[in-house]
Structure 1
Amino acid sequence: MEFAAPAAEKHEIVIIGGGICGLATALALHRGRDILIDENKERKIEHVIGESRCLQRSDLITTLADELPIGTIRLGSEVVSIDLDSVTETPRLLLTCGSYIDAEIVIGCEGGRSKVAELLGLKASRAFDVGVIRGLTTYPNAHSMPHEFRRIRKGKIGVGMLPITQHLIHWFVNLPTHLLSGDKFPNDPKHIKQMALELIKDFPSNIHETIELSNLDSMSAAHLRYRAPWDLLLGTMRKGTVTVAGDAMHIMGPFIGQGGASGLEDAVVLGRCLGMAMSGIEGNNKKEKIAKIEAGLDQYVKERRMRVLGFSTITYLIGIIVGSKSPLIKMVAGFTLAILLRDRVSHVHFDCGKL
């Protein structure tokens, strides 16, 4: 008995992941094109820090989402698997609801455990020997902290604070994971807050106050993850008409505050390269269309590879310095970092071009 292949929706472009990079990429590509976004639960993340500025990540995500045409975002679905047709190499996605989607182009923006990155053969992201507890604190009558990034370290515990507004402060506590019992961080916000307060018991009272007053629904605890620099240098980032962007390509520690910014850069470059490739497509020659799309994606990968390699190398070295138990390894990493970061802001002053 023969069974017919399941019917599938057809879309020109599917973006997996509704975080900063996914939404920005959709904006960069939306010019009259059929674009579908699978949100993949990315909106849970609450804040992002960059250079000496800080904002709530949810605010940025909402702003990007509000600019998209009505009907672009698909709510309530998640990609279970993605495969390439053995003959046409057309991407096919299976969703949690059991339906299928055939797409001309798939862009994975779904974070460090990306299914699209797995399809491309990129090695899995790894965990630093560093954990972080993060949160937001609201001061109804305003706080007195100057608008600057403050970082304090005592022994193996580091605390950082940066105001977002006159009423809102972002803070974090980072620590080597061997100071915690077990391999998993707690999920309960009350437990997370209690852990943070215990870790900073020897810190100044104003830091205690900020964490004590923090918003429980903003608190999170996790191992920091990274994609190894050598994997970025040697890894495949395009297969057929499938590629990755944002954390799915280059997840890295938050030590230099450029994760969200680099995702926005990816969106601009991808939008430009793919837009230029697709603007020259005429007629119904599918083979020619696919070839031009692949060329556009190759150009995108070429432009981004060395840029994200630099970011990831710097954060990798800082992660070693913060988390390693070996003084010798810390010294070597510190020496290498000093060479790479002779200009401490050079990595920020970068122009990725226009759409």
Structure 2
Amino acid sequence: MEFAAAASEKHEIVIIGGGICGLATALALHRKGLKSIVLERSETLRAYGGGIGLLPNAWRALDQLGVGSRLRSMAVLLQGGRDILIDENKERKIEHVTGESRCLQRSDLITTLADELPIGTIRLGSEVVSIDLDSITKTPRLLLTCGSYIDAEIVIGCEGGRSKVAELLGLKASRAFDVGVIRGLTTYPNAHSMPHELHQIRKGEIGVGMLPITKHLIHWFVALPTHLLSGDKFPHDPKHIKQMALELIKDFPSNIYETIELSDLDSMSATHLRYRAPWDLLLGTMRKGTVTVAGDAMHVMGPFIGQGGASGLEDAVVLGRCLSMAMSGIEGNNKKEKIAKIEAGLDQYVKERRMRVLGLSTITYLIGIIVGSPSPLVKIVAGFILVILFRDRASHVHFDCGKL
């Protein structure tokens, strides 16, 4: 149907979601001279999850966005790591990944990206109720909870695994792994003694990971099959989350228990990990008219190989490059020609990203099965497929998304 006449704002590019990918996409467009607005439903910038590990491919993208140098000063360089299996009294040193690896505080990453954007780019407390395409022009119109409309030439959905934009494109809903994770930060006023390494400790079905961010700050997580959680939902109250984490790791070494016991309550979060199935990424539609998706809205995946945030940063660089190239050749007021060129630019973006995120999502999907499935046979089959398809498990960190 055609839209009834109504007062509305008009913007060339609207990004839905003010998380890492949404802000990075806005920054990529800004660097290329393209103006956008970011609609974030929360009243504050979102920085859930404590810390985020970033491997070499993520730092290449951050350098293209012009924020790599600033962020490097906020985190120590990691020198590798250790896997410790308590049940078997074994310890395995993890080979150092070639290139740069650091763990950042999510709030530092979010704030840095936001600070680089022009004033007025981010609109907090702006939740999108619905997205429709005009039956004649095929351009998108957004309805906000406040009752106002925004007419846009381009809409980019960066609003996570339950994206309304992904629904509009017909992408199948994201699914839940049988894996949950509790995350937090611990501050040591007088400095901690942890080496600059990732430590992963496993006992039975419970895994704990710890990464230093600075000499005073440690990011930690507890990963576990969801059947070990009490009730149908994760707790939301930070005190309850902390109590649950401490109960789960009570038989772990005392230094692990102490780190979580000393953690900052306001950093605590519990999440049921989600994923978009690899076959949905292979076959799904990622562009309809001048609407597309990026980040978790396109390819939400587990954190098992540290590529969720990194792939969203790559999306931002590629999308900024493809859109700027498409729109640089637009002249005059020929609306039809302009839309055609924008669609071609978005198609190029989807083409460049589809196989990349398909590979990452397949790896994380298989690892998620290995970690969360209660069936030993299923774990063995998934492990066999993983070895056959991905002989070099670290190759994804050498990827370069190219120049902005």
TM-score when normalising by structure 1:
0.92
Name 1:309's counterpart in structure 2: 358
CA distances 1:198-245 after superposition (whole Å, capped 9, x unpaired): 100110000000000000000011110000000000000000000000
Q: How far off is 1:35 after superposition?
A: 48
Q: How far off is 1:335 after superposition?
A: 1.1
Whether 2:258 is the aligned partner of 1:187: answer no
Q: How far off is 1:340 after superposition?
A: 3.1
The 3 A distance-change label for structure 1 pair 159 and 286 is same
Question: Is the Cα contact below 8 Å between 2:241 and 2:270 reproduced in 1?
Answer: yes
The 3 A distance-change label for structure 1 pair 3 and 287 is closer
The 3 A distance-change label for structure 1 pair 243 and 307 is same
Q: How far off is 1:180 after superposition?
A: 1.7
Q: How far off is 1:41 after superposition?
A: 42
- The CA distance in 1 between the partners of 2:290 and 2:385, in whole Å, is 37
- What's the secondary structure of 1:348's corresponding residue? helix
Question: Is the Cα contact below 8 Å between 1:24 and 1:64 reproduced in 2?
Answer: yes
The 3 A distance-change label for structure 1 pair 351 and 41 is farther
- The CA distance in 2 between the partners of 1:70 and 1:40, in whole Å, is 55
- The CA distance in 1 between the partners of 2:228 and 2:109, in whole Å, is 34
- What's the secondary structure of 1:44's corresponding residue? strand
CA distances 1:237-268 after superposition (whole Å, capped 9, x unpaired): 00000000000000000000111111110001
- What's the secondary structure of 2:98's corresponding residue? strand
Question: Is the Cα contact below 8 Å between 2:169 and 2:286 reproduced in 1?
Answer: yes
State the number of aligned residues: 354
Name which of structure 1's ranges 187-196 and 340-349 shifts more when overlaid on structure 2. Answer: 340-349
Whether 2:235 is the aligned partner of 1:178: answer no
The 3 A distance-change label for structure 1 pair 289 and 227 is same
- The CA distance in 2 between the partners of 1:41 and 1:202, in whole Å, is 16
Q: How far off is 1:342 after superposition?
A: 2.0
Question: Is the Cα contact below 8 Å between 2:180 and 2:273 reproduced in 1?
Answer: yes
Q: How far off is 1:182 after superposition?
A: 2.2
Question: Is the Cα contact below 8 Å between 1:36 and 1:72 reproduced in 2?
Answer: no
Question: Is the Cα contact below 8 Å between 1:94 and 1:100 reproduced in 2?
Answer: yes
Q: How far off is 1:181 after superposition?
A: 2.5
Gaps of 5+ in 1: none
Question: Is the Cα contact below 8 Å between 1:269 and 1:300 reproduced in 2?
Answer: yes
- The CA distance in 2 between the partners of 1:37 and 1:124, in whole Å, is 37
- The CA distance in 2 between the partners of 1:94 and 1:35, in whole Å, is 51
The 3 A distance-change label for structure 1 pair 38 and 162 is closer
The 3 A distance-change label for structure 1 pair 335 and 290 is same
CA distances 1:279-303 after superposition (whole Å, capped 9, x unpaired): 0000000000000000000000000
Q: How far off is 1:27 after superposition?
A: 1.2
Q: How far off is 1:155 after superposition?
A: 0.6
TM-score when normalising by structure 2:
0.81
Question: Is the Cα contact below 8 Å between 1:18 and 1:40 reproduced in 2?
Answer: no
Question: Is the Cα contact below 8 Å between 1:8 and 1:101 reproduced in 2?
Answer: yes
Q: How far off is 1:80 after superposition?
A: 1.0
- What's the secondary structure of 2:321's corresponding residue? helix
Alignment of 1:264-303 (within 5 A): 264-303=313-352
Question: Is the Cα contact below 8 Å between 1:40 and 1:79 reproduced in 2?
Answer: no
Question: Is the Cα contact below 8 Å between 1:77 and 1:95 reproduced in 2?
Answer: yes
Question: Is the Cα contact below 8 Å between 1:132 and 1:172 reproduced in 2?
Answer: yes
The 3 A distance-change label for structure 1 pair 250 and 2 is closer
Question: Is the Cα contact below 8 Å between 1:125 and 1:227 reproduced in 2?
Answer: yes
- The CA distance in 2 between the partners of 1:39 and 1:104, in whole Å, is 58
Question: Is the Cα contact below 8 Å between 1:135 and 1:219 reproduced in 2?
Answer: yes
Question: Is the Cα contact below 8 Å between 1:46 and 1:57 reproduced in 2?
Answer: no
Moved >6 Å (runs of 4+): 32-51
Question: Is the Cα contact below 8 Å between 1:229 and 1:313 reproduced in 2?
Answer: yes
- The CA distance in 1 between the partners of 2:375 and 2:86, in whole Å, is 44
The 3 A distance-change label for structure 1 pair 333 and 46 is closer
- The CA distance in 2 between the partners of 1:293 and 1:42, in whole Å, is 53
Name which of structure 1's ranges 84-93 and 3-12 shifts more when overlaid on structure 2. Answer: 3-12
Whether 2:43 is the aligned partner of 1:6: answer no
Alignment partner of 1:348 out of 392, 397, 401: 397
Q: How far off is 1:52 after superposition?
A: 4.3
Name which of structure 1's ranges 73-82 and 1-10 shifts more when overlaid on structure 2. Answer: 1-10
Task: Give the RMSD, CA atoms, in angstroms.
Answer: 8.8
CA distances 1:270-328 after superposition (whole Å, capped 9, x unpaired): 01111100000000000000000000000000000000000100000000000001111
Question: Is the Cα contact below 8 Å between 1:93 and 1:100 reproduced in 2?
Answer: yes
Bigger relative contact order (CA 8 A; separation at least 6): 2
- What's the secondary structure of 1:254's corresponding residue? coil
- The CA distance in 1 between the partners of 2:4 and 2:130, in whole Å, is 20
The 3 A distance-change label for structure 1 pair 46 and 28 is farther
- What's the secondary structure of 2:135's corresponding residue? coil
Gaps of 5+ in 2: 31-80
CA distances 1:58-86 after superposition (whole Å, capped 9, x unpaired): 11111111111122112221111111011
Question: Is the Cα contact below 8 Å between 1:78 and 1:95 reproduced in 2?
Answer: yes
Q: How far off is 1:183 after superposition?
A: 1.8
- The CA distance in 2 between the partners of 1:73 and 1:49, in whole Å, is 36
Question: Is the Cα contact below 8 Å between 1:52 and 1:149 reproduced in 2?
Answer: no
Question: Is the Cα contact below 8 Å between 1:39 and 1:78 reproduced in 2?
Answer: no
Q: How far off is 1:351 after superposition?
A: 0.8
Whether 2:92 is the aligned partner of 1:43: answer yes
CA distances 1:12-44 after superposition (whole Å, capped 9, x unpaired): 0000011111111111112x9999999999999
- The CA distance in 2 between the partners of 1:351 and 1:210, in whole Å, is 36
Q: How far off is 1:110 after superposition?
A: 0.6
Question: Is the Cα contact below 8 Å between 2:286 and 2:292 reproduced in 1?
Answer: yes
